[in-house]
């Protein structure tokens, strides 16, 4: 079974504290500490991004086109690329996905450098105009704080995992001033099987982070809105928006993964950076709202104002036509995926969280604008901008509860709770018709290493084949005599003997039952050989194979023991059903305990 299951880590001053206090009480204290640290990290990231952007403002001319758009994002991507490649020397992109991978297959261990590396590189990327969000990097930072503090204090695997979740929840709460959304984000996206007693540490962490953010940056909502009162007459349009956001979510997810795959085939980092930087710079030059997170451009939309692009883009002449504005923003909706992927593929560090909110707002604006052009003054545009943010988030991340309450918290738009629920639920349902997994879980699910709400599947995912291999079998050579085999039997407490060739490759096995008749006939000791008794294995298990796959092989073959081999069929040992079942019971007990 995994080394960490049900035991304390062997290092950390917390071991002495844990002897005096139950781990549950220690977790409550540490969750507050994690929340404070995550709140400070969120404040630091916000301040750093805004400071960089303010410092670059003098480069933009007061009139004429903003030519710095062509080069600034590429500079930020290059700086991040150099830091990642030559200082960190680890891949730190896709923060939320990396946190899920840490929980699924790395014992909830997040490397210590992620406490600072994601902050620095994402601040440079976004500050210089990279078209990504700061939320995923801060989640990675928060998870790193929680994971490393938990391990340092000597907590169990479950305790470290819960503290990792507290870090992620605190990070979301700190950057959005949204404590409830932070808890829901962790429950829906990161930690799928937390018990109700785990909610208290998460709440303490998010409240602590939010208070720190309030003290440092004030209590204003993330987005100031001028919203109209909810009208039942608009419900059909909110239903339409839900379906529209569902299909936009499908486009967002599939196009992102397709672009990442294609750009990932370019093995020369500097060439990939040059191409991505040029493409991103051109996109932002033509469509200025793609610069940075894009949140500043959402505030006018949320207050019913029209953005003025006169003199800011070469396409401004096009904006004078009746249908020009919704078409312009529809292009932004389609191209945001490209801008985001170019940023990350070119060496920048940022997440899909922010681009999802931005794209959802644009989707709501486009739909409401089109309807109002057909039937003037039918829909309150600001309402649909806000609700669209929740709709796309619910579809892309497949986290409808997080979407509903995050948007309500960051905007103060609780009066739109009904349309938020309608649109988010319908977008989520539409997306689920075509995609079972979210943008964060799609790739992990393809490897079979994703933890889910299914406890059986989650426990099997946590078990590692390499840690369940039994190596106390005595191997015999394929050309050895029966006498040699009998000597091995006398020295072994096992009834199976792996058969290897001269290069250590597994050829088959001999069972004690197979030689029982001949093992006392000494006249056959020099005549018969191992290959006369050898059986072929019904299945082979790879050393790094997922436990789900191993269990399918056991079920298919009906065997009780299966050989484990490395590359080149080199023998490594056997794995048995009994050991897997024992490890499963212990892991399930630790996984489910309150």
The mean predicted confidence, pLDDT, of the chain is 85
User: Are 237 and 384 spatial neighbours (Cβ–Cβ below 8 Å)?
Assistant: yes
**DSSP annotation of 141:** H
What length does the chain have?
A: 594
pLDDT for position 192: 54
Q: For residue 199, how far is the Cα from the chain centroid? A: 21
| Domain 14-217 and domain 232-448 have a common topology | yes
**Three-state secondary structure call for residue 125:** helix
β-strands 476-477, 496-500 pairing: parallel
**DSSP annotation of 60:** S
pLDDT for position 106: 63
Bridge partners for 561 per DSSP: 576
Alpha carbon distance 49, 133 (integer Å): 11
Banded pLDDT at 468 (limits 50, 70, 90): confident
pLDDT, tens digit, 9 for 90 and up, residues 30-56: 999 999 999 999 999 999 999 999 988
At the fourth CATH level, the homologous superfamily of domain 14-217 is Clc chloride channel (1.10.3080.10)
E-only strand ranges, 104-226: none
Q: Which is more confident, 547 or 168?
A: 168
pTM recorded for the entire structure: 0.77
The C-alpha angle 170, 175, 179, rounded to 5 degrees, equals 50
Which helix (H) or strand (E) element contains residue 272?
Answer: helix 269-286
User: Tokens 């988030």 sit at which residue?
Assistant: 393
Alpha carbon distance 37, 29 (integer Å): 13
Alpha carbon distance 105, 447 (integer Å): 11
Alpha carbon distance 134, 407 (integer Å): 17
Banded pLDDT at 583 (limits 50, 70, 90): confident
Q: Does 232-448 carry CATH code 3.40.50.1820? A: no
Which helix (H) or strand (E) element contains residue 203?
Answer: helix 199-217
Q: Distance of CA 283 to CAs 234, 265, 288, 291, 401, Å? A: 35, 22, 8, 9, 33
Give domain limits for the chain.
Answer: 14-217, 232-448, 459-592
Q: Distance of CA 420 to CAs 27, 183, 184, 239, 303, Å? A: 34, 18, 16, 10, 18
Q: Does 459-592 carry CATH code 3.20.20.70? A: no
pLDDT, tens digit, 9 for 90 and up, residues 152-195: 888 877 888 889 999 999 999 999 988 999 999 988 887 655 66
Q: Tell which residue, 452, 498, 459, has the closest CA to residue 587.
A: 459
């Amino acid at each position: 079974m995994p080394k960490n299951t049900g035991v304390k880590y062997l290092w950390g001053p917390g071991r002495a504290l844990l002897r005096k206090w139950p781990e549950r009480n220690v977790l409550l204290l540490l969750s507050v500490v994690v929340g404070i640290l995550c709140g400070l990290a969120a404040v630091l990231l916000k301040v750093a991004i805004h400071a960089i952007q303010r410092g670059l403002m003098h480069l933009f001319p007061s009139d004429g086109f903003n030519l710095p758009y062509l080069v600034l994002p590429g500079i930020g991507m290059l700086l991040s690329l150099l830091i990642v490649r030559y200082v960190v020397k680890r891949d730190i992109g896709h923060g939320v996905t990396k946190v899920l991978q840490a929980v699924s297959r790395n014992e909830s261990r997040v490397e210590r450098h992620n406490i600072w590396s994601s902050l620095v590189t994402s601040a440079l990327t976004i500050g210089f105009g990279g078209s990504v969000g700061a939320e995923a990097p801060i989640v990675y930072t928060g998870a790193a704080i929680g994971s490393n503090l938990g391990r340092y204090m000597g907590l169990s695997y479950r305790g470290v995992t819960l503290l990792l979740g507290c870090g992620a929840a605190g990070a979301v709460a700190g950057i959005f001033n949204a404590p409830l959304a932070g808890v829901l984000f962790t429950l829906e996206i990161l930690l799928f099987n937390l018990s109700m007693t785990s909610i208290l540490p998460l709440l303490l962490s998010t409240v602590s982070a939010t208070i720190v953010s309030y003290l440092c940056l004030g209590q204003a909502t993330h987005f100031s809105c001028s919203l109209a009162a909810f009208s039942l007459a608009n419900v059909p349009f909110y239903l339409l928006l839900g379906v529209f956001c569902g299909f936009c979510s499908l486009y967002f997810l599939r196009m992102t993964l397709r672009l990442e795959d294609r750009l990932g085939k370019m093995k020369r980092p500097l060439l990939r950076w040059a191409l991505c930087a040029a493409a991103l710079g051109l996109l932002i030059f033509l469509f200025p709202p793609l610069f940075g997170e894009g949140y500043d451009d959402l505030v006018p939309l949320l207050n019913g104002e029209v953005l003025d692009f006169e003199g800011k883009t070469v396409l401004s002449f096009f904006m004078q036509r009746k249908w020009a504005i919704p078409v312009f923003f529809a292009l932004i909706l389609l191209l945001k995926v490209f801008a985001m992927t170019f940023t990350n593929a070119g060496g920048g560090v940022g997440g899909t969280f922010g681009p999802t909110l931005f794209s959802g707002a644009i989707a709501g604006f486009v739909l409401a604008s089109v309807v109002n052009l057909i039937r003037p003054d039918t829909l309150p545009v600001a309402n649909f901008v806000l609700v669209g943010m929740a709709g796309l988030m619910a579809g892309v991340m497949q986290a409808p509860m997080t979407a509903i309450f995050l948007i309500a918290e960051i905007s103060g738009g609780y009066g739109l709770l009904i349309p938020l629920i309608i649109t988010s639920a319908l977008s989520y349902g539409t997306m689920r018709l075509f995609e079972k997994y979210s943008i964060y879980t799609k790739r992990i699910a393809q490897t079979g290493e994703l933890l889910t709400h299914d406890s059986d599947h989650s426990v099997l995912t946590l078990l590692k084949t390499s840690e369940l291999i039994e190596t106390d079998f005595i191997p015999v050579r394929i050309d050895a005599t029966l006498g040699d085999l009998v000597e091995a039997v006398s020295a072994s407490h096992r009834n199976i003997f792996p058969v290897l060739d001269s290069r250590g490759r597994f050829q088959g096995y001999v069972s004690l039952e197979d030689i029982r008749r001949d093992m006392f006939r000494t006249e056959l000791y020099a005549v018969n050989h191992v290959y006369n008794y050898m059986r072929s294995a019904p299945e082979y298990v790879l050393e790094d194979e997922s436990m789900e796959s191993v269990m399918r092989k056991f079920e298919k073959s009906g065997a009780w023991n299966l050989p484990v081999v490395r590359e080149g069929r080199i023998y490594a040992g056997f794995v048995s059903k009994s050991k897997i079942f024992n490890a499963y019971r212990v892991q399930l007990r630790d996984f489910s305990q309150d």
